[in-house]
Amino acid sequence: MKKYLITISLSLIIGFFLSYFLLNQYKDYSGISVYNDGEEYYFLEFGSYLTKEELESNAINLENYIYRKDSGKYYMYIGIARNKNNILKMQTYYNNKNYKTEIKTFYISNKKFKEIIDNLDNILINSDDEVVINEIINQGLNKYEEVILNSGKN
């Protein structure tokens, strides 16, 4: 009987440590999440760079931008919308300035930010004026920085 207790105890201890080490490997996991409770947002990506200095030197002609670091690269974004037609409108705006962009999708669960972007989308959907498009782009980027980046939530 004593032999079984030692074996069972040893198995439990080894199992505990193995599970502890296995689960800690995923502590800072930055891969693709299978489940996300956030809302879908479209981001207009201007480029990816190896260093922050390279990113900043390519942003000289831009009025406003945000960036994120992922897997050792810096990604620059120059527009945000929830409405697909609006992000396409922003992309056309930048294409007319000879900027090459890509549309990326991210999920954000911040309700305050959703409300702000929905309001900006409603204004932009009814306008093709470049001044309005530029102002909406800047407002969206500023609010992302204010509400999401400065609060530490997404």
Flag whether 18 is in a domain. no
Distance CA 93, CA 123 (A): 16
Flag whether 2 is in a domain. no
Flag whether 28 is in a domain. no
Asked whether the CA dihedral 95, 98, 103, 108 is positive or negative, the reply is negative
Flag whether 8 is in a domain. no
Instruction: Answer yes or no: are the C-beta atoms of 85 and 14 closer than 8 Å.
Output: no
pLDDT at residue 36 in the model: 60
Flag whether 66 is in a domain. yes
pLDDT at residue 11 in the model: 83
CATH of the domain at 84: 3.30.70.1070
Distance CA 25, CA 48 (A): 27
pLDDT at residue 148 in the model: 85
pLDDT at residue 34 in the model: 52
Q: Which residues of the chain have pLDDT under 50?
A: 32, 153
* SS3 label, residue 64: coil
Flag whether 54 is in a domain. yes
Flag whether 86 is in a domain. yes
Instruction: Answer yes or no: are the C-beta atoms of 74 and 55 closer than 8 Å.
Output: yes
Distance CA 56, CA 74 (A): 10
How many separate domains does the chain show? 1
Q: Give tens-digit pLDDT for 107-131.
A: 988 899 999 999 999 999 999 999 9
The dihedral formed by the CA atoms of 13, 19, 21 and 23, expressed in degrees to the nearest 10: -150
Q: Across the strands, what pairs with 148?
A: none
Flag whether 126 is in a domain. yes
What range does the domain containing 140 cover? 39-149
